């Protein structure tokens, strides 16, 4: 063994010239990698922290919960991002070839178990905290007395149907669908419940009042997305999916289709008008007259 160690040392000295040339060659890329990773982390952290492209503030209590969960996740993953990228930059710079042999390490079981458990705790912890906002939108039913609006989507328009004074939606029959004759949803004229149904192309809801949408599609899969609600839901043909929220700010908000639905997908949008109680009554009265 001694002999070989001596041999090894000798060889290192013999090949010293070659090693030195390698050593000189590795300082520049190491430094460049370190600097570029620092610059990259700096720019990324700055842009995410300043929130220049943050969406407008949410208009529901659940939206605030979503934003809170987003901020929490941003902090946790941001810390991991900074540590990992700068750790990578540090490792390549510090451990560039400087003429000394590498340390012979096969691993460190304790360390590996520790960082496995730590990441599991952080990631799953975030998941557990995030369930609150999800259950508020999807597990809890809409509050009693919520305004029901049926949303029907087709290539490439939205229809919003209000049940009218009787509070009941009329029966739908796909065979009676006929947009040219003014019955785009196929409301059955023989069903008295459908006679006072209101069908409009934009959504109008009163402020501070729970709303329940019943989302359906007539042809392909579409979506209902309002970024200020921090909510979206696919409209799947053959299904009626409920979605509820309580908007607390008057305004006009974009409704977007986010599910690829054909060539007009990029133009498939509508508006949600959140209005005062009085204006909402006015809207219903006007719509009924037409």
Partner 1 sequence: MSTSPHPVYTPPQAPSGFWRRYIFSTDHKVIGLQYYFLALAAVTVGMVLSLLMRYHLAWPRGYVPFVQSGIMRPEQYLALMTMHGTIMVFFVLTTAPLGAFGNYFLPIQIGAPDMAFPRLNMMSFWLTLVAFGCMLSAFAVQGGAPISGWTAYPPLSGLGSITGPGEGLGQTMWIVSIGIFCFASLLASINFISTTIEMRAPGMHLMRMPLTVWAWFVTAVMSLLAFGALLAALIMLILDRSAGTSFFIPYGLVVNGELQVGRSGGWPLLWEHLFWFFGHPEVYIAILPGMGITSHIISNFSRKPVFGYRAMAGTLCAIGFLGFLLWGHHMFVSGMNPYSSLAFSALTLSIGVPSAVKTFNWLGTMWGGKIHFDTPMLFSIGFVSFFVTGGLSGIFLAQPALDNMLHATYYVVAHFHLVMAVAAIFGIFSATYYWFPKMFGRMMNETLGKVHFWLTFVGAYCIFMPMHFVGLYGGIRRYSDFTGADYLAALQPLHVFMTIAAFATASAQLIFFYNFFKSLASGAKAPENPWRATTLEWAIASPPPLDNFAGNFPHVFRGPYEYSVPGAREDFSPQHLPPSDVAGAAEGAPSA
Residues 187 to 216 in contact with partner 1, rule: CB under 8 A = none
Please identify which residue in 134, 190, 195, 286 interacts with partner 1, judged by CB under 8 A. Answer: 134
Out of 14, 75, 120, 143, which residue is the one contacting partner 1 (CB under 8 A)?
Answer: 120
Tell me if 233 contacts partner 1 by CB under 8 A: yes
User: Counting contacts by CB under 8 A, is residue 42 touching partner 1?
Assistant: no
Q: Say whether residue 182 binds partner 1 (CB under 8 A).
A: no
Distance, CA of 105 to CA of 94 (rounded, Å): 17
Q: How far is the CB of 109 from partner 1 (least distance, A)?
A: 6
Interface pick for partner 1 out of 144, 175, 278, 285 (rule CB under 8 A): 175
230 DSSP assignment: T
> Which one of the spans 35-43, 143-151, 195-203, 274-282 is the region binding partner 1 (CB under 8 A)?
35-43
Return the closest-CA partner of residue 269 out of 284, 280, 258, 283: 258
* Residue in 155, 159, 150, 264 with CA at minimum distance from that of residue 219: 155
Tell me which of 142, 232, 249, 273 binds partner 1, using CB under 8 A.
232
The answer to whether the CB of 249 falls within 8 A of the CB of 230 is no
- CA dist., res. 243 & res. 262, Å (int): 24
The span of 162-170, 257-265, 272-280, 281-289 binding partner 1 (CB under 8 A) equals 257-265
DSSP-derived secondary structure letter, 229: G
Query: Does residue 25 touch partner 1 according to CB under 8 A?
Result: yes
**Could you tell me how many residues of this chain bind partner 1 (CB under 8 A)?**
112
Query: Residues 58 to 117: which contact partner 1 by CB under 8 A?
Result: 65-66, 69-70, 73-74, 76-77, 80-81, 84-85, 87-88, 91-92, 95-98, 100-109, 111-112, 115-116
User: How far apart, in Å, are the Cα atoms of 11 and each of 16, 94, 124, 227?
Assistant: 8, 25, 51, 66
Does residue 220 interact with partner 1 by CB under 8 A? Answer: yes
Q: Which region, judged by CB under 8 A, interacts with partner 1, from 163-171, 189-197, 200-208, 265-273?
A: 265-273
Contact between 125 and 189 under an 8 Å Cβ cutoff? The reply is: no
Q: CA of 274: how far to CAs of 61, 127, 162, 193, in Å? A: 15, 32, 15, 26
Structure tokens at 167: 């509070």
Whole-angstrom Cα distance, residue 142 to residue 212? 6
- With CA atoms as reference, report the closest residue to 12 among 1, 23, 24, 25: 23
Region from 40-48, 143-151, 160-168, 192-200 binding partner 1, contact rule CB under 8 A = 40-48
46 binds partner 1 (CB under 8 A): no
Q: Which is nearer to partner 1, 108 or 286 (CB)?
A: 108
CA 116 – CA 13 distance, rounded (Å): 41
Answer yes or no whether residue 186 interacts with partner 1 by CB under 8 A: yes
Q: Would you say 33 or 142 has its CB closer to partner 1?
A: 33
Contact 198, 288 (CB under 8 A): yes
């Amino acid at each position: 063994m001694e002999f070989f160690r001596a041999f090894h040392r000798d060889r290192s000295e013999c090949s010293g010239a070659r090693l030195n040339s390698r050593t000189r060659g590795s300082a520049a890329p190491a430094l460049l990698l370190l600097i570029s990773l620092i610059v990259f982390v700096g720019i990324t952290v700055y842009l995410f922290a300043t929130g220049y492209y943050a969406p407008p503030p949410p208009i529901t209590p659940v939206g605030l919960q979503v934003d809170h969960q987003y901020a929490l996740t941003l902090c946790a993953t941001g810390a991991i991002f900074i540590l990992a990228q700068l750790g990578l930059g540090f490792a390549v710079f510090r451990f560039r070839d400087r003429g000394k042999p590498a340390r012979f390490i096969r691993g460190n079981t304790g360390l590996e178990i520790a960082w496995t458990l730590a990441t599991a705790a952080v990631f799953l912890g975030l998941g557990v905290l995030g369930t609150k906002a999800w259950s508020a939108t999807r597990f809890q039913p809409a509050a009693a007395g919520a305004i029901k609006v049926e949303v029907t989507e087709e290539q490439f328009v939205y229809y919003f149907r209000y049940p009218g004074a009787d509070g009941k939606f009329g029966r739908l029959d796909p065979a009676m669908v006929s947009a040219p004759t003014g019955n785009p949803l196929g409301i059955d004229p023989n069903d008295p419940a459908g006679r006072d149904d209101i069908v409009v192309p934009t959504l109008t809801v009163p402020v501070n009042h729970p709303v329940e949408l019943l989302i359906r599609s007539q042809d392909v899969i579409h979506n209902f997305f309002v970024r200020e609600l921090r909510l979206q839901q696919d409209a799947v043909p053959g299904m009626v999916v409920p979605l509820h929220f309580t908007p607390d700010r008057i305004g006009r908000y974009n409704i977007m289709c986010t599910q690829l639905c054909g060539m007009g997908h990029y133009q498939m949008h509508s508006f949600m008008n959140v209005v005062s109680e009085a204006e909402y009554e006015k809207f219903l009265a006007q719509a009924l007259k037409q």
